[in-house]
Structure 1
Amino acid sequence: MIGAGMGAMAAAARLAVAGHRVTVYERAQTYGGAVRRFERDGFGFDTGPGLLTLPAVWRDLFIKTGKGPLEACVELVQVDPSSRHVFADGTGVALPNASRAGVVAALEEALGAGAGGRWGDFLVRAREAWDRTRRPLLEEPLWTDWSVLADREPYPAVPHKRLLRTRRAATLAEVGAWELRDPRLAALLESYALAHGVDPATAPASAAVLPYMEHAFGTWYVRGGIRELARAVYERCLARKVEFVFGAEVTGVLEKDGRAAGVELADGAVAEADTVVGAGPWRLRGLVPGREPYGAKDVEPRAEGLRPGRVVVCLALRGAREPDAVHRTVVHAPAAADELSLFGPGRTPERPTVRVDRPDDPALRPDEKHESVVLTATVPSGAGYDWAAPGAADAFADRMVAAAERAVPGLRERTLWREVRTPVHTEQETGAEGGAVPPPSLASAEEALHPSNVTAIPGLFTVGGWSHPGGGLPHAGMSGALVAGLIVEGPEFRGSQ
């Protein structure tokens, strides 16, 4: 197996339980892919995902791979409110966790009569899109006739009369403008897409499933940080006798009799195998000399560097966390047009949307007189912006901190030190071109789908965020389950029941 990301480890544990001998070759010196932790002076910070949705995916992994359930390995805490939002006009609202009625009431009170009802009606339509796409996009291998998924819009958009014509929203931005009819509700909707590196102006309306997942299934925190989930999965792999080789870069996939037969490492060593599981369809092309892993009828692997990345600012603060502080606050950008410029080449938003995570976790601070805070913003990847240029990272981090002060007054005065992590760090840790972050698969647009886990080369599979069903912690776990099922049961595997 190439790489020790979350999807790869999920597949490795399942394959080991099924009787396979599994060896994982990881170019870095640790596991987890983008699920990392930065530590210094008694402070700890999640530099990847800060919260978890759909924990059932990881519960299933632990049930299927041993006696110890997930909750025996990590402590899951439901976050309430799931998030607080500070909009451009200064309006703020805290959204209760996993409560549609609570969210509707909160929005109605904060944004005025009718706002909550419109968001509630939107969630009903989003649920219909979820019900239509959940199995083919998350729980089943990518259909051979995947174009059916790309051609059909599962979101039941409301008819909208525009310029003497009746139209239905085709993009997420149109859903916000035509159905929600409030710039703050539109910003709320679009923030879910931005958090996944998805452009609301081009994302299909089916991206409505992204906020629906949070509202329907809740938001969770892992005590000690999300890195603890990676540790638990790694230890489950070890318990199932999966072998890990760190500092081992795979430079080629071996072939014999027309099928994958092992890997070649940077030091010239060769490891033979009956099956090879790779990470990143785009990078896989460079590992199979003279062969095209994907056929003309497959979803085309797109250059990873075309996707956005993230800047993460870790703040070590003096002063205790207020007892009523919210775990996550989203500070919205004042100008949507400026924000969306990040999806073009060579420019960062002047005033970005910033996610502020303030976990109430003693494990992440030296004592009660200090606090660890993480700021995150979606940005162009290193393939479209020079994050290594002198001053580029710090200048953008300054803008993020300025935005975050709308949620945490006095933030700069409380800062002892900060660590700024850009797509340059992401590329070093994950190998993704430009440090880009993979988005989840979405229906009704070919460019929103990811390549199948099965390649045109027998015995060669792909797992992780750059292949079906795309990026995000829940999707990584599902990807591992799909690959394991395809290897164990063969092409007749049709997903979990």
Structure 2
Amino acid sequence: MAAAARLAVAGHRVAVYERGATHGGAVGRCEREGFSFDTGPGLLHLPAVYRDLFVKTGKEPLERCVELVQVDPASSHLFADGTAVTLPNASRAGVLRALDEAIGAGAGERWSELVNRARDAWEATRRPLLEEPLREDAAAREALGRDPYPAVRRRGLFRRGGAVTLASVAARELSDPRLVALLESHALAYGLDPRRVPASAAVLPYMEQTFGSWYVRGGMRALADALHDRCAARRVEFHFGAEVVGLAEKEGRAAGLELADGQVVEADLVVAGVSPGRLASIAPTALAEIPVPVLPGRCTVHLALRGARPGGTAHRTVVHGPDREAELDAVFGGSGGSAQGAYRPTVTVLRPDDPATRPDAGHEAVTLVATVAPHGRVDWSGEVAGAFADRMTDAARAVIPDLRERLLWREVRTPADTEAATGAEGGGVPAPALAGAGGAFLRPGNTTRVPGLYLAGGFAHPGGGLAHAGMSGAMVAGLIVAGARQ
């Protein structure tokens, strides 16, 4: 939709073909008995991406279409040893004080120094990684394949020539297991294994701490609704329940779409926002190689609670798991790891102070989220889902002690549900693109080997997340408009 709105303003006639019954993809909503829950992202980072989109596509800016609220505190964390810390939003000095008070003198400074180095990594790669289409030439990919994080080289550090990962940096530069858990939780939330991801993943907490965390009144689905309305106002056509199964080509160029019902839709240009497996099926020659990675998914538990939301409750609380290795092995695979093991996951508890999410002030809507192994490696359509949701709910009781007494009902959504709704293999959720690791954490570029076929969305450059998806739409629209001028 981000690409569609921009292209419509540029004078193109645009039609969106969506296999689902509504717009928004994974940015969905669950409604029941007066309660409302986001089924996708719960918070927005880098809201400037959508401010720019709405300014460039119409007279009404973003804040006139949705109510953006800066979440403060940004998050609370409950660590495995019982230590609790609450971190303010977009306040570096406040974060430093909070960590010193909760963990001990010097903790805030160690965290601050790491974030400073993450800022250097951000500045080094922000433009080529987030603001420009990914060039396919070898030099460009080689440059982004180098990790920009300036890891501290102390005596003996990495002397064996091993990869500098987020985990190795955390262990050496933070040392305290609670600070390590804090850093690694940002990677885990995006479906990234801190033991394998490059140190440049430290930009994830840097972005959040620097630019803040934001919530949209009515839930994040309200953002998808506002963008759909903007597209409709620009006369973008929407066709739902229209599954694309093939790319029509003419003289070696993209010439339209083939739909599951046999219909062929003609087009001059095609923008695909699909998973790698779907792309391989629809347009097998689009890329020189279309890797289909097995990405982690999300297990989400929606809780309808009787009783008012207590005053002073944090919007987001992360309850850290007690066994790091067991959890990482279960989610990402590892020696001796079992994806179906009875480990207790790291759980993010979302408790928005939003009347639109509950029937009245005497009730509360709570969402629990955990990163999990994809459907296929775990059969999420079976009994595993209920047992895992029980463990997530038990974890949430650490911050909602009266949860059992207040619980009216719950709904569980797993990677199997995500796969059914979006078509993504295993219900996998793409992470933002990262520099380093020889380019292993980059996404396919926005152009393809088939002229007239472009890629957008979380499975294309610059990767997953609401902000990054919006960036990909801007990049694709820019490429098309620039090409039309040549």
Does residue 266 of structure 2 align to residue 277 of structure 1?
Answer: no
Question: Partner residue of 2:357?
Answer: 364
Q: Equivalent residue of 1:162, what SS?
A: coil
State the aligned residue count. 477
Q: Distance in 2 between matches of 1:337 and 1:206?
A: 21
Q: Distance in 2 between matches of 1:302 and 1:113?
A: 46
Cα displacement (A) at 1:143:
2.1
The farther-off stretch of 169-178 and 35-44 is 169-178
Assess if the C-alpha contact under 8 Å between 2:316 and 2:348 holds in 1.
yes
Does residue 478 of structure 2 align to residue 480 of structure 1?
Answer: no
Q: Distance in 2 between matches of 1:141 and 1:163?
A: 35
Q: Distance in 1 between matches of 2:287 and 2:118?
A: 32
Q: Distance in 2 between matches of 1:195 and 1:302?
A: 23
> 1:16-35, aligned counterparts within 5 Å?
16-35=8-27
Residue identity in the other structure for 1:335: D
Q: Distance in 2 between matches of 1:301 and 1:178?
A: 36
Cα displacement (A) at 1:491:
9.7
The sequence identity of aligned pairs, in percent, is 63
- What's the CA shift string for 1:33-68, capped at 9, x where partnerless? 110110000000111110110000000000000000
> 1:39-188, aligned counterparts within 5 Å?
39-144=31-136, 145=138, 146-162=140-156, 165=159, 170-188=164-182
Q: Distance in 2 between matches of 1:354 and 1:335?
A: 13
Cα displacement (A) at 1:265:
0.7
Q: Distance in 1 between matches of 2:443 and 2:404?
A: 41
Question: Partner residue of 2:377?
Answer: 384
Question: Partner residue of 2:447?
Answer: 454
Q: Distance in 1 between matches of 2:39 and 2:143?
A: 33
- What's the CA shift string for 1:268-298, capped at 9, x where partnerless? 111100001112344212113xx52112xxx
Assess if the C-alpha contact under 8 Å between 1:309 and 1:381 holds in 2.
yes
Assess if the C-alpha contact under 8 Å between 1:160 and 1:168 holds in 2.
no
Unaligned runs of 5+ in 1: 1-8
Assess if the C-alpha contact under 8 Å between 1:173 and 1:200 holds in 2.
yes
Question: Partner residue of 2:214?
Answer: 220
Does residue 276 of structure 2 align to residue 287 of structure 1?
Answer: no
- What's the CA shift string for 1:291-331, capped at 9, x where partnerless? 52112xxxx53314x11000000000011100111100000
Question: Partner residue of 1:339?
Answer: 327
Query: 2:247 aligned to 250, 253, 269, which one?
Result: 253
Assess if the C-alpha contact under 8 Å between 1:346 and 1:385 holds in 2.
no
Q: Distance in 2 between matches of 1:356 and 1:54?
A: 21
Cα displacement (A) at 1:466:
0.4
Residue identity in the other structure for 1:58: Y
Does residue 317 of structure 2 align to residue 329 of structure 1?
Answer: yes
Q: Equivalent residue of 2:44, what SS?
A: coil
Assess if the C-alpha contact under 8 Å between 2:158 and 2:164 holds in 1.
no
Question: Partner residue of 1:317?
Answer: 305
Q: Distance in 2 between matches of 1:164 and 1:201?
A: 14
Q: Equivalent residue of 1:448, what SS?
A: coil
The farther-off stretch of 339-348 and 266-275 is 339-348
Structural RMSD (CA): 1.6
- What's the CA shift string for 1:13-38, capped at 9, x where partnerless? 00000000000000111011110110
- What's the CA shift string for 1:215-240, capped at 9, x where partnerless? 00000000000000000000000000
Question: Partner residue of 2:236?
Answer: 242
Q: Equivalent residue of 1:161, what SS?
A: coil
C-alpha change, 1:163 and 1:14, in structure 2 (3 Å) is closer
C-alpha change, 1:248 and 1:151, in structure 2 (3 Å) is closer
Residue identity in the other structure for 1:329: T
